[in-house]
Amino acid sequence: MKGPHNIWRLVRTGATFERTGAMGAVLEAMEAPRSVRIAARVLGWPFAFLGLRGDPSLPPVPRALNALGPAYIKFGQILSTRPDVVGTDLAKELQVLQDKLPPFSRHEAKRVIAHEMERPVDTIFSEFSEPVAAASIAQVHRARLLETGQDVAVKVLRPGIERAFRKDIDAFYLIAWFVEALSPSSRRLKPRDVIRHFEGVVMQELDLRIEASAAGEFAANTAKDDGFEVPAVEWFLSSRRMMTLAWANGITLSDLDAIDAAGHDRRELGTRVLQMFLRHALRDGFFHADMHHGNLKVAPNGDIVALDFGIMGRIDEYTRRVYAEILMGFIRKDYRRVAEVHFEAGYVPSDRDVGEFAQALRSVGEPIFGMEASKISMGRLLAYLFEVTERFGMETRTELILLQRTMVVVEGVSRSLNPDVNIWTVAQPVVEEYIRDNVGPKAVARDLFHTARVLARFGPRLPNLAEAALLAQANPKPPERKNPWPERIGYALAGSAAGAGIIAVIALF
């Protein structure tokens, strides 16, 4: 929180929120206490004339964030994934936040590339277009490789964007400190932790090597998925401030007329978008967390092409199994099993009643399954589910909130392609396939094999561990400094014996 610029930024932020009408909306959504409301008015109202006007066609909060610049736009986009912080309604409003900003010049982009590649752009590309897309952090140019003639997309960071973001993040910490100081009750939302999370996400996006790595991992995971493509990364033409991918020809999924004119089956595309997302989340635990229309194309051959890998989501293997069992329980209307899974995973405190929780879950599922197919929403179910689990003491799990937010976006894309899609019918085969492979006898055998392989690593260390244990027994130390080696050798011996037995069992399958 260094420098007078933070005080000015704080005043300018308050003034802009006041002028655009966003101040009241934010305070209402976050149920701010009286002390915070008064402080916000003091900071905002007298200086409202200093605030930026913004785009009147936008809702108040997106209008204010757009006016304040790239860091605020990105902050709003990330908050749209955190309904636990800003509330469901405001999170939904922030999802429409656009970060289309005026592009910087082609000359400036070429200067950045020449600096990153340490050679003139003309020695790399035979053609280099004007910007084809411009966002808050970077913009994209279409180019042609001089050596091979291949068309590529070149993403270039905005000049000076790192410094600008660091200044604004510094101001965000000051704002969070003020909120916590004026309202102790707000600390349950952990304002400074939210800013810290935002800082981590943005710092990754400001290093395009991280995005290139995400694109490469995503491409490797999905290489065998029929009907789905990820553009290949040109690793030797990617660095911290630029990234080069193969150019993706195709029609943006929002252009329904063009999709129809090209003869693509929109119903099939809608089904495939949803199933691919679920498959990536469950099978790989690594999914595209920004799958809106603008980041998806349909190629001339009918493949769905994913773009922009700045925001990706991860779910560990255990959580994926829990999530799949919860979804399958809802699909089968087995609310008791859904409740048991929550308790088994430790999501709900063990002192709560399973039967009461199952009853609450029924109140979530039955109204949704009573709807007509075109209105059934998995995203809505997950949102309701989080409300119920919160009442039963479940702590917020950020990775599931990101998954739920992405699920809502993907549902929207799928329904725009096919308004009559039944989300649960489409999801069922993917969830069943995952459960068959990961929550059954095959999964148990695979888990035991992995466990045995880990335990087997103790084998070469057993003689030394045994000797250390014998020496410890021959030369006992005072009780307060109990030597842990006898216990460790016991665990290691038992583990190795168990591992050998497990391997023998697996060999019989």
Q: Note the pLDDT tens digit of each residue in 194-210.
A: 778 778 778 888 899 99
Please give the residue range of the domain that contains residue 367: 249-439
493 phi-psi bin (left φ>0, alpha ψ -120 to 50, beta other): alpha
SS3 assignment for 412-459: HHHHHHCCCCCHHHHHHHHHHHHHHHHCCHHHHHHHHHHHHHHHHCCH
- At residue 121, does pLDDT exceed 90? yes
Which of 197-211, 314-328, 383-397 has the weakest average pLDDT?
383-397
- At residue 147, does pLDDT exceed 90? yes
Catalytic residue among 207, 260, 284, 290: 290
Q: Which residues of 302-330 are buried (b: 16+ CB within 10 A; e: fewer)?
A: ebbbbbbbbbbbebeeebbbbbbbbbbbb
Same-domain check for residues 134 and 95: no
Same-domain check for residues 66 and 147: no
Distance of CA 299 to the CA centre of its chain: 25
Same-domain check for residues 256 and 306: yes
Residue 290 known to be catalytic: yes
Picking from 439, 458, 490, the residue at the C-terminal end of a domain is 439
Same-domain check for residues 429 and 451: no
- At residue 7, does pLDDT exceed 60? yes
Specify the pLDDT at position 476: 67
Same-domain check for residues 16 and 84: yes
CA–CA separation, 279 vs 264, rounded Å? 22
Same-domain check for residues 214 and 314: no
Specify the pLDDT at position 496: 43
Q: What is the chain's mean pLDDT, rounded? A: 80
Specify the pLDDT at position 70: 81
Q: Is the dihedral of CA 347, 349, 354, 360 positive or negative?
A: negative
Same-domain check for residues 257 and 318: yes
CA–CA separation, 431 vs 278, rounded Å? 8
Picking from 410, 439, 468, the residue at the C-terminal end of a domain is 439
Same-domain check for residues 58 and 195: yes
Picking from 439, 458, 474, the residue at the C-terminal end of a domain is 439
Same-domain check for residues 418 and 272: yes
Banded pLDDT at 444 (limits 50, 70, 90): low
Residue 132's domain is classified under what CATH number?
3.30.200.20
Q: What is the pLDDT of residues 251-293, one digit of tens each?
A: 999 899 999 999 999 999 999 999 999 999 999 999 998 888 8
Q: Which of 347, 431, 423 is nearest to 388 (CA)?
A: 347
Structural domains of the chain, count? 4
476: which strand partners? none
Specify the pLDDT at position 441: 67
Q: Yes or no: say if 40 and 32 are a contact pair by the CB < 8 Å rule.
A: yes
Specify the pLDDT at position 410: 87
Which of 22-26, 295-299, 481-485, 502-506 has the weakest average pLDDT?
502-506
Write the CB contacts of 383 (distance below 8 Å, at least 6 apart in sequence): 83, 88, 404, 408
Same-domain check for residues 278 and 414: yes
Specify the pLDDT at position 323: 82
Place of tokens 């055998």: 445
Which of 35-49, 227-241, 399-413, 481-495 has the weakest average pLDDT?
481-495
Same-domain check for residues 267 and 305: yes
Query: What percentage of the chain carries pLDDT values higher than 70?
Result: 75
Specify the pLDDT at position 163: 84
DSSP, res 370: T
Same-domain check for residues 342 and 399: yes
Q: What is the pLDDT of residues 87-118, one digit of tens each?
A: 667 777 777 676 667 889 999 999 999 999 99
12-33: average pLDDT: 77
